[in-house]
Structure 1
Amino acid sequence: MVEPLHTSSNGGAERGANTAFASEKIQPTTERLQRFDSLYMEAGKIPGGQSHAAKVGWATTLHLAFQSIGVVYGDMGTSPLYVFSSTFVDGLKDTDDILGVLSLIIYTVALLPLTKYCFIVLRANDNGDGGTFALYSLISRYARISLIPNQQAEDAMLSHYKLESPSNRVKRAHWIKEKMENSPKFKVMLFLVTILATSMVIGDGVLTPCISVLSAVGGIKQSAKSLTQGQIAGIAITILIALFLAQRFGTNKVGYTFAPIILTWFILIAGIGVYNLFKHDAGVLKAFNPKYIVDYFKRNGKHGWISLGGVILCITGTEAMFADLGHFNVRAIQIGFSVVLLPSVLLAYIGQAAYLRIYPEHVADTFYKSIPGPLYWPTFVVAVAAAIIASQAMISGAFAIIAQSQILGCFPRVRVNHTSTKFQGQVYIPEINYVLMVLCVAVTAIFQTTDKISNAYGIAVVFVMFITTLLVTLVMVMIWKTSLLWIALFPVIFGGAELIYLSSAFYKFTQGGYLPLVFSAILMFIMATWHYVHVHRYKWELQNKVPNNYVAELATRRNIARLPGIGFLYSELVQGIPPILSHWVEQVPSIHSVLVIVSIKFLPISKIETKERILFRYVDPIEYRVFRCVVRYGYNDKVEDPGEFESLVIENLKQFIHEESFYSQSRHSLQGESVEESGDVMDPAVEVQNETLSKKNSDQATADPRNGCMEEIQVIHNEMEDGVVHMLGETNVVAEPNADFLKKIIVDYVYNFMRKNFRQPERITCVPHNRLLRVGMTYEI
Structure 2
Amino acid sequence: MASREEETSDAEDVSQNKMDRHLARYCDTILLTLSLVMFLAITAMKISIGVVYGDIGTSPLYVYASTFPNGIKDEDDIIGVLSLIYYTITLLPLIKYVFIVLKADDNGNGGIFALYSLICRSAKVSLLPSQQAEDRHVSNYELELPNALSSKVKYGLEGSRFAKYLLLIVTMLGTSLMIGDGILTPSISVLSAVGGIKAATPAMTEDTIVWASVFILVLLFSVQRFGTDKVGYSFAPIISIWFLINGTVGIFNFVTYDSSVIKAVNPWHIVEYFKRNGKDAWVSLGGVVLCITGTEALFADLGHFTVQSIRISMSFVVYPSVMLAYSGQSAYLRQHLNDVNDTFYKSIPGVVYWPVFVVAVMAAIVASQAMISGTFSIIQQSFSLGCFPRVKVVHTSTKYPGQVYIPEMNYLLMIASVCVTLAFRTTEKIGNAYGIAVVFAECLTSSFVVLVMILLWKKNILLAIAYVVCIMSVELTYLSSVLYKFPKGGYLPLAFAMILMIVMFVWNDVYRRKYYYEMAHKVSPDKVREVISQPNIYRIPGLAIFYSELVHGIPPIFEHYVANVPALHSVLLFVSFKSLPISKVPPEERLLFRRVQPKELYVFHCIVRFGYTDIRNMEEPFDKMLVDRLKDLVKEDILFNAGETSNDGAKKQEEIERELGALDRAAGAGIVHLMGQSEVVACEGAGIGKRILINYLYCFLKRNLRQSDEVFNMLPKRLLKVGMTYEL
TM-score normalised to structure 1 length: 0.87
1:150 pairs with 2:127: no
1:574-593 Cα deviation digits (max 9, x unpaired): 00111111111111111110
Residue equivalent to 2:83: 103
Structure 1 window deviating more from structure 2 (233-242 vs 214-223): it is: 214-223
Q: Is the 8 A contact 2:186 2:367 kept in 1?
A: yes
Residue equivalent to 1:398: 375
Residue equivalent to 1:630: 607
Residue equivalent to 1:737: 684
Please state how far the C-alpha of 1:163 moved relative to its aligned partner: 4.4
> What SS does the corresponding residue of 1:642 show, helix, strand or coil?
coil
Aligned partners of 1:491 and 1:206: how far apart in 2? 29
Q: Which among 579, 591, 616 is matched to residue 556 of structure 2?
A: 579
1:132 pairs with 2:79: no
Cα 1:538–1:250 change in 2 (3 A) is same
Cα 1:767–1:329 change in 2 (3 A) is same
> What SS does the corresponding residue of 2:126 show, helix, strand or coil?
coil
Matches within 5 A, 1:196-345: 196-345=173-322
State the percentage of identical aligned residues.
53
Residue equivalent to 1:680: none
Q: Is the 8 A contact 1:551 1:620 kept in 2?
A: no
Q: Which among 55, 69, 84 is matched to residue 64 of structure 2?
A: 84
Residue equivalent to 1:651: 628
Letter in 2 for 1:79: S
> What SS does the corresponding residue of 2:370 show, helix, strand or coil?
helix
Aligned partners of 1:484 and 1:262: how far apart in 2? 41
1:422-469 Cα deviation digits (max 9, x unpaired): 112111111110110111111111222222110000000000000000
1:450-508 Cα deviation digits (max 9, x unpaired): 22110000000000000000000000010110111101111222110001001110111
Residue equivalent to 1:600: 577
1:156-193 Cα deviation digits (max 9, x unpaired): 1111123425xxx6232122212111111110011001
Q: Is the 8 A contact 1:251 1:396 kept in 2?
A: yes
Residue equivalent to 2:10: none
1:600-649 Cα deviation digits (max 9, x unpaired): 11111111111111111111221110111111111111135432111111
Q: Is the 8 A contact 2:65 2:428 kept in 1?
A: no
> What SS does the corresponding residue of 2:613 show, helix, strand or coil?
coil
Please state how far the C-alpha of 1:223 moved relative to its aligned partner: 2.9
Aligned partners of 2:278 and 2:166: how far apart in 1? 36
Gaps of 5+ in 2: 1-35
Matches within 5 A, 1:132-531: 132-165=112-145, 170-531=147-508
Aligned partners of 2:718 and 2:141: how far apart in 1? 37
Please state how far the C-alpha of 1:421 moved relative to its aligned partner: 0.7
Residue equivalent to 2:715: 768
Q: What is the number of equivalent residue pairs in this alignment?
A: 693
Letter in 1 for 2:671: V
> What SS does the corresponding residue of 2:620 show, helix, strand or coil?
helix
Aligned partners of 1:780 and 1:555: how far apart in 2? 26
Letter in 2 for 1:737: E
Letter in 2 for 1:625: Y
1:246-278 Cα deviation digits (max 9, x unpaired): 000001100111110000010011001101111
Letter in 1 for 2:598: P
Aligned partners of 1:773 and 1:580: how far apart in 2? 13
Residue equivalent to 2:514: 537
Q: Is the 8 A contact 1:551 1:621 kept in 2?
A: no
Aligned partners of 1:607 and 1:729: how far apart in 2? 26
Letter in 2 for 1:615: L
Q: Is the 8 A contact 1:77 1:266 kept in 2?
A: yes
Letter in 1 for 2:468: P
1:675-696 Cα deviation digits (max 9, x unpaired): xxxxxxxxxxxxxxxxxx7xx7
1:693-749 Cα deviation digits (max 9, x unpaired): 7xx79xx76x98454221111111111111111111000011111111011011001
Please state how far the C-alpha of 1:551 moved relative to its aligned partner: 2.2
Q: Is the 8 A contact 2:196 2:342 kept in 1?
A: no
Residue equivalent to 1:112: 92
Aligned partners of 1:296 and 1:554: how far apart in 2? 80
More helix by share: 2
Q: Is the 8 A contact 2:50 2:239 kept in 1?
A: yes
Aligned partners of 2:651 and 2:444: how far apart in 1? 58
Q: Which among 663, 673, 676 is matched to residue 640 of structure 2?
A: 663
> What SS does the corresponding residue of 1:127 show, helix, strand or coil?
coil
Please state how far the C-alpha of 1:93 moved relative to its aligned partner: 1.2
Aligned partners of 1:80 and 1:326: how far apart in 2? 27
Cα 1:766–1:549 change in 2 (3 A) is farther
Aligned partners of 1:633 and 1:746: how far apart in 2? 29
Please state how far the C-alpha of 1:565 moved relative to its aligned partner: 0.7
Q: Is the 8 A contact 2:576 2:606 kept in 1?
A: yes
Letter in 2 for 1:91: G
1:746 pairs with 2:693: yes
Letter in 1 for 2:616: V
Letter in 2 for 1:112: L
Cα 1:451–1:640 change in 2 (3 A) is closer
Q: Which among 35, 56, 62 is matched to residue 42 of structure 2?
A: 62
Q: Is the 8 A contact 2:258 2:331 kept in 1?
A: yes
Q: Is the 8 A contact 2:121 2:143 kept in 1?
A: no
Q: Is the 8 A contact 1:645 1:766 kept in 2?
A: no
Aligned partners of 1:538 and 1:396: how far apart in 2? 31
Q: Which among 707, 710, 717 is matched to residue 664 of structure 2?
A: 717
> What SS does the corresponding residue of 1:733 show, helix, strand or coil?
strand
Structure 1 window deviating more from structure 2 (485-494 vs 269-278): it is: 485-494
Q: Is the 8 A contact 1:571 1:600 kept in 2?
A: yes
Q: Which among 758, 766, 774 is matched to residue 705 of structure 2?
A: 758
Aligned partners of 2:651 and 2:368: how far apart in 1? 62
Please state how far the C-alpha of 1:651 moved relative to its aligned partner: 0.5
> What SS does the corresponding residue of 1:160 show, helix, strand or coil?
helix
Aligned partners of 2:85 and 2:69: how far apart in 1? 16
Cα 1:704–1:106 change in 2 (3 A) is farther
Cα 1:373–1:403 change in 2 (3 A) is same
Gaps of 5+ in 1: 1-55, 670-692
Q: Is the 8 A contact 1:569 1:597 kept in 2?
A: yes
Residue equivalent to 2:14: none
1:220-262 Cα deviation digits (max 9, x unpaired): 1223333321221111111100000000000110011111000
Please state how far the C-alpha of 1:555 moved relative to its aligned partner: 4.0
Q: Is the 8 A contact 1:568 1:598 kept in 2?
A: yes
Q: Is the 8 A contact 2:617 2:711 kept in 1?
A: no
> What SS does the corresponding residue of 2:150 show, helix, strand or coil?
helix
Aligned partners of 2:241 and 2:203: how far apart in 1? 30
Aligned partners of 1:88 and 1:445: how far apart in 2? 24
1:590 pairs with 2:570: no
1:279-332 Cα deviation digits (max 9, x unpaired): 111111010011111111111111111110010000000100001010001111
Q: Is the 8 A contact 2:638 2:655 kept in 1?
A: no
